[in-house]
Chains A and B, each alone.
Chain A
Amino acid sequence: NAGVTQTPKFQVLKTGQSMTLQCAQDMNHEYMSWYRQDPGMGLRLIHYSVGAGITDQGEVPNGYNVSRSTTEDFPLRLLSAAPSQTSVYFCASQPVQGNQPQHFGDGTRLSIL
């Protein structure tokens, strides 16, 4: 059982480049979310989805796009990378939105030069 799989694990981009961070889960979870982790800030919610075809913004959505065409996949797109987006990105899922623990992937470490 793979759980939540994130690819790539590491990536270096130049300012202005675009990139998609992949996230897939095999637990048939309806709710998926993206967080970024920065020193002293904890994990901050970027975007989330309560099911296929439905997405919404979290705390820090600017500069990021998401889509949810299937239950399994929830990619995060950076259209024009900025140094401020250097961070560790985590994808998470849970069965449905609400009071339940989330399952996290192992993260993508992204550096923007």
Chain B
Amino acid sequence: DQQVKQNSPSLSVQEGRISILNCDYTNSMFDYFLWYKKYPAEGPTFLISISSIKDKNEDGRFTVFLNKSAKHLSLHIVPSQPGDSAVYFCAASALDMRFGAGTRLTVKP
């Protein structure tokens, strides 16, 4: 039973445009949400997080939005750069962390 779902296995965008990655969760006990970025042959690296008491958190080109009523969060990358090409994992935590299956983002020059 996957409690965190990323329904888009892949996403392709043009350099300079916005990338929007989506994530849905089912467990209402989750109170902390994160996005990780993963390059091939490396471990995931932390990108940005948001607490359930907020609905938006911004860090440079990266913004995470949380809609608790819809149990949905999204990651916006503006502007997208070729170096952003990676697999992005959404994660949710209620003491222990649960991960989505990942979305492979490709940013084309």
What is A's interface to B at a CB cutoff of 8 Å? 4, 33, 35, 40-45, 48, 58-59, 90, 92, 97-99, 101-107
Contact = CB atoms under 8 A, between A and B. Distances in A.
Given A42-B99, A42-B101, A45-B98, A99 B43 contact: no
Given A40-B101, A41-B101, A42-B4, A104 B43 contact: yes
Interface stretch (B14-22, B54-62, B66-74, B89-97): B89-97
A90 B89 contact: no
Interface of B: 2, 4, 6, 9, 31-32, 34, 36, 41-46, 49, 51, 89, 91, 93, 95-102
A31 to B, nearest CB: 10
A103 B43 CA distance: 9
Contacts of B100: 42
Contacts, number: 56
B42 A106 contact: yes
A43 B89 contact: yes
Contact of B31 (A33, A42, A58, A99): A99
10 contacts: A41-B2, A43-B89, A44-B99, A45-B96, A99-B49, A101-B46, A102-B97, A104-B44, A105-B43, A107-B43
A105 B42 CA distance: 8
A101 B101 contact: no
A99 B93 contact: yes
